[in-house]
Amino acid sequence: MIELEGLVVTVDRVVYMPQLDAPDDQPHPFAYFITVRNDSPHRLVLLRRKWVVYQNTGSTEVVEGDGIVGMTPELGPGQTFSYNSYHVTSSGAEVGGAFFGETAAGDQFFVRIPAFSLTVPA
């Protein structure tokens, strides 16, 4: 598996959203907005994701699975895929991860998701 050169992930925005539903033990919901831009010469499909959430309390949570918000986006050269999702935390956290996929030629790849912070307002 290779890190695909020319595939770029951008964390566009992270928003604290206390109006979203959250369980009592994780009362801090955050929405995040992500864009994946295919500046490579390859046609590709994004198949899986893996997030690692480092809670300020010292615990680590790994979230992984098939698809991205229920989709397996296909991107040709120059195309983008944007989406938003949310995560709830018990405190602030640092988040990072990767998307995994396959090119039209069958080569498996990954692309890193830049780390970002979930900062609970004071």
Average pLDDT of the segment spanning 27-35: 96
Gap between the Cα atoms of 13 and 72, Å rounded: 22
Res 122: pLDDT: 82
Separation CA 9–CA 3 (nearest Å) = 12
User: What are the chain's domains?
Assistant: 2-118 (2.60.40.1470)
Confidence category of residue 20, pLDDT binned at 50, 70, 90: confident
pLDDT in tens, 70-112: 999 999 999 999 999 999 999 899 999 999 999 999 999 999 9
Tens digit of each residue's pLDDT (9 = 90 or more) over 51-76: 999 999 899 999 999 999 999 999 99
Query: Which of left, alpha, beta for 56 (phi over 0: left; psi -120 to 50: alpha)?
Result: alpha
CA 92 to centroid of chain Cα atoms: 17
